[in-house]
Amino acid sequence: MLTGLTLTEARAGLEARKFSARELAQAHLDAIGRLNKQLNAYITVLPEQDVLAAADAADARYTKGEARLMDGLPVGVKDLFCTKGVKTTAASKMLANFVPPYESSVTARLLDAGSVFLGKTNLDEFAMGSANITSAFGSVLNPWKRQGDDAALVPGGSSGGSAAAVAAGLALAATGTDTGGSIRQPAAFCGIVGLKPTYGRCSRWGTIAFASSLDQAGPMTRSVADAGLMLEAMAGFDEKDSTSSNRPVPEFSKAVGKSVKGLRVGIPAEYRAPGMPEEIAKMWEQGIAWLREAGCEVVDVSLPHTKYGLATYYIIAPAECSSNLARYDGIRFGERKDAASLDGIYERTRAEGFGPEVRNRILMGTYVLSAGYYDAYYLKAQKVRTLIKRDFVQAFEQVDVLLTPTAPSAAFAHGENMDDPVQMYLNDIFTVPASMAGVPALSVPVGLDSKGLPLGLQIIGRHFDEETVLSVGGALEAAAGFAHKPTLHAEAGV
């Protein structure tokens, strides 16, 4: 079925004219029509005539021999990227009716590459969350189920809608954003590939901000080769983003399949967290064995400041969030709620526009930035962040990549861990350090746990060395041979 293809398979099929871009787009629209009410993966589905018109334009380019990198490939767009003329909500009541008059740089690049946008995928409100339960438009359902258990599982977050859509066949691929693990953790929970590029590799312009020194766009796909292909289309220098890196964009897709023989793979001692489930530890050991068999040299390394990563993140990210979200006051930006006074407008607009998790993080961030606490918390956190980054730089003097688990567990059920914010924040314990350091990291699905749920391993690389990360990811993917499908997917019962 067309909805079960990878990007690279679909592109090959389109080039060989085995099917048309219109047929490919229609198959995905039909799948969305069947499954989106259950999964809630999309907040906004684009009008059918617009989707099919874009597909027809791609078909015309294939006929003329002028096909582009992503021509005719149907993708979902996380509803954090501004899309011209299409509602962009950040999954918040505050932006429930916001229609941008401009296109984000990342989505503009994807459109230029010929991508066919299907719609805007659901997420945690303003990308704040690890379970996709904070969206003002309802929680997202993970298409996977535990064996013998019908409990609804979370897809991870914040890019849970994108992960669920790709896993269930409602898009060939989707964009995500990663601040502390929001691409990699949902990719692991949903059994797909998720790549957080180096900070600055993809432009942040036109992407609604959470924490500006951490936010980074990246691809969520069904294969490592697809992640390389899509990153090639998304990446590039952007003069509108002062944090964008002016570096050439390699042909990332060609990195997959290269020999990894002789590469040094570091195993950080600090990631062997106390209380780590045995299944996660065994899968990690299996991943180490697979890479050793592929010719890699395995080296033990230390990242001594890793233990401070999560605490540091939950000072810096809320601080930046409180600053970025200050603009939503109902006067300059945001859905205004009228009141008798100006202060009343501010209070009512923000109280009704923001959900509880966003309000929590704004309060936490405002506190650590306030007089008397700035030096004690925020300034100290910035110093520790420098030490975390230095740990990675020193480790990469000894090794080419690091291999770790992606998440400390498989997907959990709606209602589990929900009343314990610390437990929820611990979901990002393995992903946050790479975000703090700004290095690229890739999650690859490698197997199932005893309950039939997917588990992922994470490959972390040097700054701007996504090619090596993708090469090692491809070797891990080939060894694992992960081909499992979730309970709910577009091909089931068709």
- 467: amino acid identity, one letter: E
What is the rounded distance in angstroms from the CA atom of residue 297 to the CA atom of residue 210? 38
Q: Is 245 a catalytic residue?
A: no
Angle between helices 380-395 and 309-324 (to 10 degrees): 120
What is the rounded distance in angstroms from the CA atom of residue 117 to the CA atom of residue 107? 9
What Å distances lie between residue 137 and 91, 371, 428, CA to CA? 6, 36, 23
**456 forms bridges with which residues in the sheet?**
445
State residue 159 phi and psi, 5-degree precision: -85, 45
- 361: amino acid identity, one letter: R
- CA 467 remoteness from chain centre: 18
What is the rounded distance in angstroms from the CA atom of residue 375 to the CA atom of residue 267? 34
Strands 193-196 and 216-221: antiparallel
Is residue 365 within 8 A of residue 322, CB to CB? The reply is yes
What is the rounded distance in angstroms from the CA atom of residue 10 to the CA atom of residue 18? 9
| Catalytic hit among 182, 223, 322, 409 | 182
> Could you tell me which of 183, 403, 193 has the C-alpha nearest to residue 284?
403
Is residue 483 within 8 A of residue 223, CB to CB? The reply is no
| Catalytic hit among 20, 78, 162, 435 | 78
Q: Is 337 a catalytic residue?
A: no
Is residue 436 within 8 A of residue 389, CB to CB? The reply is yes
Is residue 439 within 8 A of residue 430, CB to CB? The reply is no
Q: Is 78 a catalytic residue?
A: yes
What is the rounded distance in angstroms from the CA atom of residue 478 to the CA atom of residue 349? 51
State residue 107 phi and psi, 5-degree precision: -70, -30
3-class DSSP state of 268: strand
Is residue 14 within 8 A of residue 72, CB to CB? The reply is yes
Q: For residue 278, count other CB atoms closer than 10 A to its CB.
A: 8
| Catalytic hit among 92, 104, 158, 409 | 158
The catalytic residue positions are 78, 158, 182
